[in-house]
Amino acid sequence: GAGVSQSPRYKVTKRGQDVALRCDPISGHVSLYWYRQALGQGPEFLTYFNYEAQQDKSGLPNDRFSAERPEGSISTLTIQRTEQRDSAMYRCASSLAGLAGETQYFGPGTRLLVL
Amino acid sequence: QKEVEQDPGPLSVPEGAIVSLNCTYSNSAFQYFMWYRQYSRKGPELLMYTYSSGNKEDGRFTAQVDKSSKYISLFIRDSQPSDSATYLCAMTSGGSNYKLTFGKGTLLTVNP
């Protein structure tokens, strides 16, 4: 079956523009996670959903970052007024039932470059 | 100090060597320990998963967790060129906290 998909795969934008990154989780997966991965680093948690409810957004760096999952499936991570320091790989992951220690399946990521 | 420390390497070994990768952590609440493998330009994929302390073996891979020392290891026996990747340790406390905390990753190259 299809894995986690993300779009776009690459996004180049100018400082100050808003960007929207999309994640399509594995069908039927309850939980969806967003991570940010800088070059040479491991992924860092941003936010997490169970169905459409945002359970934890403690990793969002500031109020320019927001995420939604309105129908409990596809999710969008939005960055407003982008800054150069926002440049990174943004990864989405999903898991089946939202249980502790459950396998998280990662997507290929969206590489964001802010000029 | 980061919650999870991992030597980024790079680590280069000949084919057939035994590889030892490890992470240390500071958060005693961590209960679930994973190793993810990440090939170049791909997303991380789960390789091994261990709950609490102990050993787990899967083919050529063995994961060890020592909670008393806050130290986890991944051993790869008879390493193959196809094992060349970045290996990331990850952990979570479980309960209502499902976010994974990752190490930096160790870049491994197995030379034929």
**pLDDT number for residue B76:** 97
Assess A62–B contact: CB distance below 8 Å, yes or no: no
CA distance A14 to chain B (A): 24
**A69-94 pLDDT tens trace:** 999 999 999 999 999 999 999 999 99
Count CA atoms closer than 13 A to B62's CA, side-chain side.
9
Structure confidence at residue A21 as a pLDDT band (50, 70, 90): very high
Query: Distances in Å between the alpha carbon of B76 and those of B60, B66, B91, B108?
Result: 6, 18, 20, 11
Tokens representing A45? 């948690």
Assess A25–B contact: CB distance below 8 Å, yes or no: no
Given an 8 Å threshold on Cβ–Cβ distance, is B43 in contact with A109?
Answer: yes
**pLDDT number for residue B96:** 64
Does the structure show a pLDDT above 80 at A100?
no
Structure confidence at residue B8 as a pLDDT band (50, 70, 90): confident
**pLDDT number for residue A102:** 84
Assess B95–A contact: CB distance below 8 Å, yes or no: yes
Report which of B7, B15, B44 is spatially closest to residue B109, judged by C-alpha positions: B15
Assess A98–B contact: CB distance below 8 Å, yes or no: yes
> Do you find a cis peptide bond into A25, omega within 30 degrees of 0?
no
**pLDDT number for residue B87:** 97
A6: DSSP letter: E
**B38-91 pLDDT tens trace:** 998 899 999 999 988 889 999 999 999 999 999 999 999 999 999 999 999 999
CA distance A23 to chain B (A): 13
**pLDDT number for residue A40:** 87
Instruction: Please report residues of A whose CB lies closer than 8 A to that of B45.
Output: 105-106
**pLDDT number for residue A1:** 54
In this prediction, residues A93-108 reach a mean pLDDT of 88
In this prediction, residues A46-72 reach a mean pLDDT of 95
Exposed, middle or buried, A100 (CB in 10 Å: 0-12/13-18/19+)? middle
In this prediction, residues A22-41 reach a mean pLDDT of 94
Number of A:B CB contacts under 8 A?
A: 69
Show the CA angle centred on residue B76, arms to residues B110 and B101, nearest 5°.
100
- Residue B82 three-state SS: helix
Residues 38-77 of B with CB under 8 A from A: 41-46, 49, 51
In this prediction, residues A37-44 reach a mean pLDDT of 92
